Amino acid sequence: MKESDPVYLQGDIVEEHVEFTLIELCRVTGASEEQFTLWVNEGAFEPRGARIEEWRFSGASLRRAVTAQRLTRDLQLNAQGVALALDLLDQIDTLRARLARQDDRGDTFETSCKP
């Protein structure tokens, strides 16, 4: 391989192609397993699988888990507080997206194009 021809790293899009076990998600976020179990018990995360060893978290959980961990660390929130904050943040995201679409509410027509 030529030196001027770098190897580009290939990554996985976490939200689409990755699932986490409890241990993996704890390692990525720095949260403890006890902490995570409390969040799951509050319904803030809904892993697949019945027993803790079988839990599988969706890739989209990572973003929420990072937020949960930072809120716990920086604001000393307990699990109930974290669950409430995550729900409210979801609502804010939904409202923001709806607000951004307000301008684009004209009647929609299909049209075609040529490349």
Q: At which residue do the structure tokens 């969040």 appear? A: 39
**Range in contact with other proteins (rule: CB under 8 A) among 12-20, 36-44, 47-55:** 12-20
d(CA 69, CA 30): 7
Q: Is 79 in the site for other proteins (CB under 8 A)?
A: no
Helix (H, G, I), strand (E, B) or coil at 57: strand
**62 in Cβ contact with 26 (< 8 Å):** no
Q: Shortest approach of other proteins to residue 29 CB, angstroms? A: 9
Q: Shortest approach of other proteins to residue 67 CB, angstroms? A: 5
Q: Is 70 in the site for other proteins (CB under 8 A)?
A: yes
In the chain, the N- to C-terminal Cα span, in Å, equals: 36
Q: Is 53 in the site for other proteins (CB under 8 A)?
A: no
d(CA 19, CA 47): 10
Q: Shortest approach of other proteins to residue 22 CB, angstroms? A: 15
Q: How many residues bind other proteins (CB under 8 A)?
A: 41
Using CB under 8 A as the binding rule, the residues of this chain from 20 to 39 that contact other proteins are: 27-28, 30
**62 in Cβ contact with 29 (< 8 Å):** yes
Q: Which of 31, 62, 65, 83 binds other proteins (CB under 8 A)?
A: 62
